Structure 1
Amino acid sequence: MRRNKLRVTGAVVVSTALVLGAAACGGDDKSGGSGDELTIGFMGDLTGENSGIVIPPSQGAQLAVDQYNATNPKVKIKIKKYDSQGKGEQAVPLAKQAITKDKVVAMIGPAFSGESAQVGPVLEEGKIPSVSPSATNAALGTKGWKFWHRIVGNDNAQGEGIGTFILNGLSAKKVFVINDQSEYGKPLAETVKATVTKGGATVTEDAIDPNGSDFSSAVNKAKAAKADAIFFGGYYAAGGKLIKQLREAGVKGRFLSGDGSLDKGLAKGAGGTTADGSAIGCPCLIDPTGTASPKSKTFAEQYKAKYNTDTAIYSAEGYDAATAFIEAIKAGNDTAEKINEYLSKIDVPGVSKQIKFTPQGEPAAADVYIYQVKGDTLPLLGKAAEAKIG
């Protein structure tokens, strides 16, 4: 998932070097707290229009840390949260503050792909290990960063999974693909397009400005295409409005989207039950009933007890991202560079998957799941290759 259309420029890297030069490398300093406490950051959109898909991983991470601290360990952990609102221009200075002032030894996040692309060089220069619970842009794993990781599968896996479901689960022959022109939505849409095209479907496409209010151009093209399935690469704030306008125009094709739309806000934006029947793909496991595994069941119960709400998008991945750092600290690693070194060999069970990373920082395993919109609920249909929809 991930937001923001800002480009990564040389200026970001240059300014990073200037700010961090005086502070040396954050990873060399055994700070991040006082004495027996280390500070881990969490960065993402906590108050913006798409905060609904960032608050759950933030809560999951906090739960993991609170449980660890409750064991009265020798070294406790504090989470410091940085509200970037998913915007690179806010995320970059916050990352610099985290390194030079707050002395974090690790960062959970950034949550979105656009901000991750801009903050990555800052954390890399500062030698601060990061684990994103939700940034899915595939290109992030090709930067050669040594301190970057994610616990969630990338958009190549997600797009292929959703495309496979469109072909097999829906048996769609005509597919209309729309993207929001973001660093998240556009490449995800391209992967879905490539997958269904390879499978023999006819594809037409268009793009929208997610900050706009009139999507009539794309809606009219979708209507003319008479598509069986309409895939939107983007976030729920725009996705809800798009569904509403499609249905008002009489477009009947099944609406689908990726993890950026896996939020109750999609149905709210569409207006009541208008979004019902939509299918949302995600390389994340949302299992509020705890049916996937005993560990998932325990997590769902503990999350509900703490927050009085069911687990949601990326809550399990936020928990697992925090767990990766907790395991490193439990093993006696108290500097950023030592924590990063530990991440290269970690291999422990998580809630969403086995916590293990490739040399590129990608998760070693990445399943894609399909969810269906039913009112304000998002029940799990199953893995993308097996799911069916009525």
Structure 2
Amino acid sequence: MRRNKVLSIGAAALALGLTMTACGTTKEDGKGGGSDAACDLKLAFFGPETGDAAGLGKPIIQGAKLAVDQYNADADCKVELVKYDSQGSPDAAPGLARDVVGDESIIGVVGPAFSGESAAAGPIFADVGVPTITPSATNPTLADNGWDTFHRALGNDATQGPAAARYIKDTLKAASVFVIDDASEYGAGLAGIVEKDLGDAVKGTDTIQQKQTDFSATVTKVTSAKPDAVFFGGYYAEATLLIGQLRDGGWDGTFVVVDGVKDPAFLDAKDAAEGTIITCPCIPDTDPAVAQFAKDYEAAFGEAPGTYAAESYDAANIFLDGIGDGIDNREDMLKFVNDYDEKGITKQLKFDDKGEPADVHVYAYTVKDGAIVPEGEIK
């Protein structure tokens, strides 16, 4: 990582006896606003720590925490990671965003985690100039709002949706598909893309609601249509119940879902979940590029990295690289992030003028023998 280069340069400079402050920056060195400010910096996690979507928030929190803990192990001035628990709710997002911008020691946000809360909080961050890097919010329209502060560390649904449709057509060779969404900005957006790309293969559509538990009406529509595959745009809480009720209703086709379902809680569906295909713009923890990260993560948290832990680690490290360079204010950090172009563990980390990543990949996973197993990149 680039931060390691910065630290090695700093160590060499100290060895040469250069005069430096305890924090490594001064007002005169052109990097920051003073050593005192540089010693009181924070990064924020913005997303679900509790609630129905907490399972998706946990690995994002832990990925960012690992990056901060590793940075602090070698730093004279520690960086604090503070958590703003949105519970994944767009309604809670504006108030939390105002809390973030009110703490001027926060110079970067890892998140918001979900698309709906990103849309609600984005204007507030943009108005004040707080740079954000989401490791998981994938709705394409987020990059079309003109927010200079918005950045995304993964491919959006305009890449995941076509990849999912391609997998359904080319790999599953499904002749008929039923498309379901959960009415969220994220789920409905993805379902719309997949429906468009599949064209005449779509034999029916339906919309459910988040927190819904009885899907009997949807099950009736699906079993009547008799599709080879069902595509679901939404999150794991509903997907877990939906696939169980579809199997109980007699449907035996292939269930295809997206990254919002890639959580161990989906495996609570047990045998009903077997064979489910999950698409995700998240790198598998078996990839050689993330092998050391996965080892460090498991040592720190006692479990393998979950969905978007690695992307969160990369996002946090971009901010930490800036802090390592002596940046201690939002304005300079925003410029640093906008200009960033370094190798991360998940990809080359570089953003276009809309905040989208320059390097995008989408992967397929399958549920096999009670585990979520990577199949490989969808080309």
* Same-fold status (TM-score > 0.5): yes
Quick one: distance in 2 between partners of 1:144 and 1:189? 25
3-state SS of paired residue (2:196): helix
1:166 to 165, 168, 178: 168
Quick one: distance in 2 between partners of 1:32 and 1:166? 55
Match of 1:22 in 2: none
Quick one: distance in 1 between partners of 2:291 and 2:36? 33
Contact 2:363 2:375 in 1 (8 A): yes
Quick one: distance in 2 between partners of 1:320 and 1:187? 26
Match of 2:212 in 1: 212
- 1:324 aligned to 2:326? no
Match of 2:59 in 1: 56
**RMSD (Å), alpha carbons:** 1.7
1:345-366: CA deviation from partner (whole Å, max 9, x where unpaired): 2111111111111110011111
Q: Which amino acid aligns with 1:237?
A: A
Match of 1:107 in 2: 109
Deviation at 1:103, TM superposition (A): 3.4
- 1:303 aligned to 2:297? yes
Quick one: distance in 2 between partners of 1:340 and 1:35? 16
1:146-225 pair list within 5 angstroms: 146-197=148-199, 201-225=201-225
Q: Percent same amino acid at aligned positions?
A: 41
Match of 2:343 in 1: 349
1:123-142 pair list within 5 angstroms: 123-142=125-144
Unaligned runs of 5+ in 2: 1-31
TM-score by length of 1: 0.86
Q: Which amino acid aligns with 1:219?
A: V
Contact 1:358 1:364 in 2 (8 A): yes
Match of 2:267 in 1: 267
Contact 2:351 2:358 in 1 (8 A): yes
Q: Which amino acid aligns with 1:382?
A: G
3-state SS of paired residue (2:70): helix
Deviation at 1:373, TM superposition (A): 1.1
Change (3 A) 1:170 1:32: farther
Quick one: distance in 1 between partners of 2:134 and 2:33? 23
Quick one: distance in 2 between partners of 1:370 and 1:178? 19
Quick one: distance in 2 between partners of 1:333 and 1:372? 43
1:225-264 pair list within 5 angstroms: 225-264=225-264
Quick one: distance in 1 between partners of 2:365 and 2:155? 16
- 1:374 aligned to 2:368? yes
Change (3 A) 1:332 1:33: closer
Match of 2:94 in 1: 92
- 1:120 aligned to 2:131? no
Deviation at 1:253, TM superposition (A): 1.3
Match of 1:333 in 2: 327
Match of 1:285 in 2: 283
3-state SS of paired residue (1:54): helix
Change (3 A) 1:81 1:174: same
Quick one: distance in 2 between partners of 1:228 and 1:126? 49
Contact 1:186 1:233 in 2 (8 A): yes
Change (3 A) 1:320 1:220: same
Deviation at 1:374, TM superposition (A): 2.3
Quick one: distance in 1 between partners of 2:36 and 2:85? 20
Contact 1:32 1:40 in 2 (8 A): no
Q: Which amino acid aligns with 2:51?
A: G
Contact 2:164 2:194 in 1 (8 A): yes
1:188-220: CA deviation from partner (whole Å, max 9, x where unpaired): 0011111222xx624321111222221112111
Which consecutive aligned stretches of 4+ in structure 1 deviate over 6 angstroms post-superposition? Answer: none
Quick one: distance in 2 between partners of 1:351 and 1:315? 11
Change (3 A) 1:38 1:373: same
TM-score by length of 2: 0.88
Quick one: distance in 1 between partners of 2:203 and 2:91? 35
Quick one: distance in 1 between partners of 2:290 and 2:72? 21
Change (3 A) 1:31 1:366: farther
Deviation at 1:297, TM superposition (A): 0.8
Change (3 A) 1:107 1:370: same
1:291-339: CA deviation from partner (whole Å, max 9, x where unpaired): x22x411101100110110011000001011011111222222111101
Unaligned runs of 5+ in 1: 1-28, 386-390
Change (3 A) 1:241 1:112: same
